[in-house]
């Protein structure tokens, strides 16, 4: 991992000395300066699909200025599909539709730039875009130069109509784009759709190997990647939209993909769960606010797809929430990960650049509900030298501080609403933070669970401390919160729980996590495997049984 800042926390310092730092990276994650924090702005797609024109973009830009959205950080205007003519020019360059863009895209670029915006556009990796317009296949370098010459600095490359639709074909095309950008003095920001085409949404297959393999390269080839389904478009009340039946279902579906992929995100590369559908008529205000709070907790792109000139004040107000935008744009760029999941609540946490800890609590249930979250689940210490630590948390919706020990109380959270707290930590307390949360299989969604008699199991989400794991940053030991004196231990083809060794540290109790999702034992070099026969096996190439989502903050080997 490439931290461009000095190791300030114990965790980072530990990573630096323990040789967990990796070698050999390139592109986005080696050049995080191109897009150090996730993009914020507007895209027309989910709101207008192909019914677009110049006025939509100029009026949107004007409204983003007058409503304060630009000042809040939303500084990109991106055009999606259907902006083109049917054919390329005689010089093989692309051409905009002159009926809908009468002044031309270079004019629009200047209009936007004068008002403080960046301008982005859309193309497709195949011969034809999803909407049926000329694709960029074979024209990557020409098109990149053309876009730059129009004043564009951001490109989304979709993945319709790629033939053959193999993982290898996509990889070679996205690499060609990467090479074209690398050749430019001023490369475009590269938003990649390739992983979405290998997600279960498209393939319908339980075999996620190609999805993982595609995710493995996108942090090297570009700055962001769409990993899953399209978010539901405006006002369609379809009984079936990418497998869901409501816009809330669509938000939850993309959220569900996002939470499996935190290991890939670093400053300079961002997982993209798709647009904020801030004026969808079938979303409640709580649901819209939840989408925003969750996306911010992920440090995900905040790209609004709504008719901004008519957004009501309550929507503008949450979109401009400075505390949540600061969380989204935090320099550490951590993606919050699941601490626990039960029938009602998803609890997520991550660290922020100044050492603070974020807690995000989503009520996925259908009723107003309350819960208490222990400080140890958030990765914090309960006491120091026998004295309870008092924590101060800011409610990022109300701005009010609360003070607590032992447990953070969440009271009367409405259905589908999200509570977000930023816990301020002194440098000492920040250094004591331990990555804590679920260890769960990306394919089966089963969780590593501490059983009785030192056994482990792979169980469905239960919300209990037997599924919440604490990873010791210095040594890489893995312990269940239900009994932190036990450590995950490699034996002959089985991972079991044994009392943690103190001195010397037992290599059989030390684990390394990799961006491929493997949890590998340092002694046996075997990987944790979800199987009824043996829970440790020879590490194989991105097979479903060996790919795990771990708490953010665990050192990721690239
Ligand atoms: C642009 O598109 C919008 C939305 O489809 C429509 O309401 C508007 O009349 C169009 N404007 C022009 C100038 O065509
Ligand atoms: C260009 O836009 C006009 C107006 O919407 C539309 O009638 C025409 O079909 C578009 N051209 C192409 C090639 O899509
Ligand atoms: C583009 O079209 C050509 C000619 O039909 C075909 O050989 C090629 O496979 C297509 N490429 C992609 C990426 O779809
Ligand atoms: C990038 O530049 C290299 C060296 O000039 C050239 O060989 C290569 O074809 C270029 N690639 C693209 C995609 O333009
Ligand atoms: C899963 O997909 C990969 C890549 O397409 C393939 O190599 C592998 O054989 C598949 N595994 C199973 C069990 O079908
Ligand atoms: C979809 O549902 C919403 C709210 O139930 C309603 O306001 C809207 O008109 C519906 N849209 C369509 C296209 O039916
Ligand atoms: C909430 O209601 C929806 C639709 O009525 C239902 O499908 C879902 O299972 C319910 N969720 C819970 C957690 O009760
Ligand atoms: C949370 O803790 C408080 C204080 O101990 C208690 O009154 C309350 O009932 C608890 N709430 C839940 C949902 O357990």
Does 356 participate in catalysis according to the annotation?
no
**Which one of the listed residues 62, 216, 242, 395 is annotated catalytic?**
216
Cβ 163 under 6 angstroms from ligand 3: yes
Say if CB 461 and CB 446 are below 8 A apart.
no
341 - beta bridge partners? 346
| Exposure b/e, 336-356, CB count within 10 A at least 16 = b | bbbbbbeebbbbbbbbbbebb
Strands 556-557 and 511-514, sheet pairing: parallel
pLDDT for the residue 8: 32
Cα 214 to averaged position of ligand 5 atoms, centre (Å): 14
pLDDT for the residue 18: 32
Say if CB 392 and CB 422 are below 8 A apart.
no
Cα 372 to averaged position of ligand 8 atoms, centre (Å): 6
DSSP, collapsed to helix, strand or coil, labels residue 493 as coil
Which class for 485: exposed (0-12), middle (13-18), buried (19 or more C-beta within 10 A)?
Answer: exposed
Residue 176 alpha carbon, nearest atom of ligand 4: 13
Phi, psi of 248 (to 5 degrees): -65, -40
Cα 247 to averaged position of ligand 7 atoms, centre (Å): 14
Q: Which residues have C-beta within 8 Å of that of residue 489, sequence separation ≥ 6?
A: 495, 496, 497, 498, 506, 508, 509
Cβ 53 under 6 angstroms from ligand 1: yes
CATH fold, domain 337-431, is Immunoglobulin-like (2.60.40)
For the chain, what is the radius of gyration of the CA atoms?
Answer: 23
Cis peptide bond N-terminal to 177, omega within 30: no
Tell me the pLDDT of the chain (558 aa) as tens digits: 222 223 233 333 333 333 332 333 345 777 889 999 999 999 999 999 999 999 999 999 999 999 999 999 999 999 999 999 999 999 999 999 999 999 999 999 999 999 999 999 999 999 999 999 999 999 999 999 999 999 999 999 999 999 999 999 999 999 999 999 999 999 999 999 999 999 998 899 999 999 999 999 999 999 999 999 999 999 766 666 677 889 999 999 999 999 999 999 999 999 999 999 999 999 999 999 999 999 999 999 999 999 999 999 999 999 999 999 999 999 999 999 999 999 999 999 999 999 999 999 999 999 999 999 999 999 999 999 999 999 999 999 999 999 999 999 999 999 999 999 999 999 999 999 999 999 999 999 999 999 999 999 999 999 999 999 999 988 999 999 999 999 999 998 999 999 999 877 899 999 999 999 999 999 999 999 999 889 999 999 999 999 999 999 999 999
Cα 284 to averaged position of ligand 7 atoms, centre (Å): 16
**Verdict on whether the full-model pTM lies above 0.75:** yes
pLDDT for the residue 15: 33
Cβ 135 under 6 angstroms from ligand 3: no
CATH number of 436-557: 2.80.10.50
Cβ 126 under 6 angstroms from ligand 3: yes
Does 431 participate in catalysis according to the annotation?
no
Domain boundaries, the chain: 32-328, 337-431, 436-557
Cis peptide bond N-terminal to 25, omega within 30: no
Nearest to 297 by CA among 316, 278, 321: 321
Q: How far apart are CA 120 and CA 118, in angstroms?
A: 7
pLDDT for the residue 27: 55
pLDDT for the residue 236: 66
Q: Length of the chain, please?
A: 558
Tokens of 263: 């290991």
**Which one of the listed residues 44, 80, 124, 158 is annotated catalytic?**
158
CATH class of 32-328: alpha beta
Cβ 370 under 6 angstroms from ligand 8: yes
Residue 372 alpha carbon, nearest atom of ligand 8: 1
**Ligand 8, atom 10: closest residue by C-alpha:** 372
pLDDT for the residue 245: 83
Cβ 163 under 6 angstroms from ligand 8: no
Tokens of 347: 């609890």
Nearest to 450 by CA among 435, 439, 436: 439
| Exposure b/e, 365-390, CB count within 10 A at least 16 = b | eeeebebebebbbbbbeeeeeeeebe
Cα 313 to averaged position of ligand 7 atoms, centre (Å): 30
């Amino acid at each position: 991992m490439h931290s461009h800042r000095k190791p300030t926390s114990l965790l980072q310092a530990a990573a630096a000395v323990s040789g967990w730092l990796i070698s050999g990276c390139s592109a986005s994650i080696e050049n995080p300066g191109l897009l150090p924090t996730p993009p914020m702005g507007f895209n027309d797609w989910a709101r207008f699909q192909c019914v677009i024109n110049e006025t939509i973009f100029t009026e949107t830009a004007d409204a983003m200025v007058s409503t304060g959205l630009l000042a809040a950080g939303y500084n990109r205007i991106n055009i999606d599909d259907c902006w083109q003519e049917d054919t390329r020019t005689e010089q093989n360059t692309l051409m905009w539709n002159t009926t809908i863009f009468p002044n031309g895209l270079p004019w629009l670029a200047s209009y936007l730039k004068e008002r403080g915006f960046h301008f982005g556009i859309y193309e497709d990796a195949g011969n034809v875009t999803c909407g049926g317009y000329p694709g960029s296949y074979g024209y990557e370098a020409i098109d990149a130069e053309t876009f730059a010459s129009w004043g564009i600095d951001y490109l989304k490359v979709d993945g319709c109509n790629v033939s053959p639709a193999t993982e290898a074909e996509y990889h070679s095309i996205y690499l060609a784009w990467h090479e074209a950008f690398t050749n430019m003095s001023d490369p475009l920001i590269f938003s990649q759709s390739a992983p979405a085409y290998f997600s279960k949404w498209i393939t319908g297959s339980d075999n996620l190997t190609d999805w993982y393999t595609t995710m493995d390269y996108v942090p090297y080839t570009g700055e962001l990647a769409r990993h899953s389904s399209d978010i539901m478009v405006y006002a369609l009340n379809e009984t079936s939209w990418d497998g869901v039946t409501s816009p809330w279902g669509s938000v939850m579906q993309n959220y569900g993909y996002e939470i499996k992929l935190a290991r890939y995100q670093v400053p300079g590369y961002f997982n993209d769960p798709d647009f904020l559908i801030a004026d969808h008529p079938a979303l409640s205000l709580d649901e819209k606010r939840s989408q925003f709070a969750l996306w911010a907790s992920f440090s995900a792109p905040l790209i609004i797809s709504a008719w901004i000139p008519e957004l009501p004040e309550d929507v503008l107000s949450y979109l401009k929430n400075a505390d949540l935008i600061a969380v989204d744009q935090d320099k550490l760029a951590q993606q919050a990960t699941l601490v626990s999941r039960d029938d009602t609540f998803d609890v997520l946490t991550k660290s922020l650049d100044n050492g603070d800890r974020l807690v995000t609590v989503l009520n996925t249930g259908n009723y107003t509900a309350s819960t208490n979250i222990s400080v140890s689940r958030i990765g914090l210490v309960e006491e120091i030298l026998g004295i309870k630590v008092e924590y101060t948390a800011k409610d990022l919706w109300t701005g009010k501080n609360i003070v607590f020990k032992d447990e953070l109380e969440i009271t009367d959270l409405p259905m589908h609403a999200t509570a977000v707290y930023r816990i301020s930590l002194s440098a000492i307390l920040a250094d004591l933070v331990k990555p804590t949360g679920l260890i769960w299989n990306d394919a089966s969604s089963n969780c590593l669970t501490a059983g009785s008699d030192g056994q482990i199991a792979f169980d469905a989400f239960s919300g209990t401390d037997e599924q919440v794991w604490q990873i010791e940053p210095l040594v890489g030991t893995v312990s269940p919160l239900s009994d932190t004196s036990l450590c995950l231990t490699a034996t002959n083809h089985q991972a079991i729980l044994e009392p943690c060794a103190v001195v010397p540290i037992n290599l059989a109790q030390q684990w390394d996590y990799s961006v491929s999702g493997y949890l590998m034992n340092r002694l046996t070099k075997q990987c944790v495997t979800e199987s009824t026969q043996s829970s440790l096996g020879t590490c194989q190439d991105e097979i479903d049984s060996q790919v795990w989502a771990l708490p953010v903050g665990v050192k990721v080997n690239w």
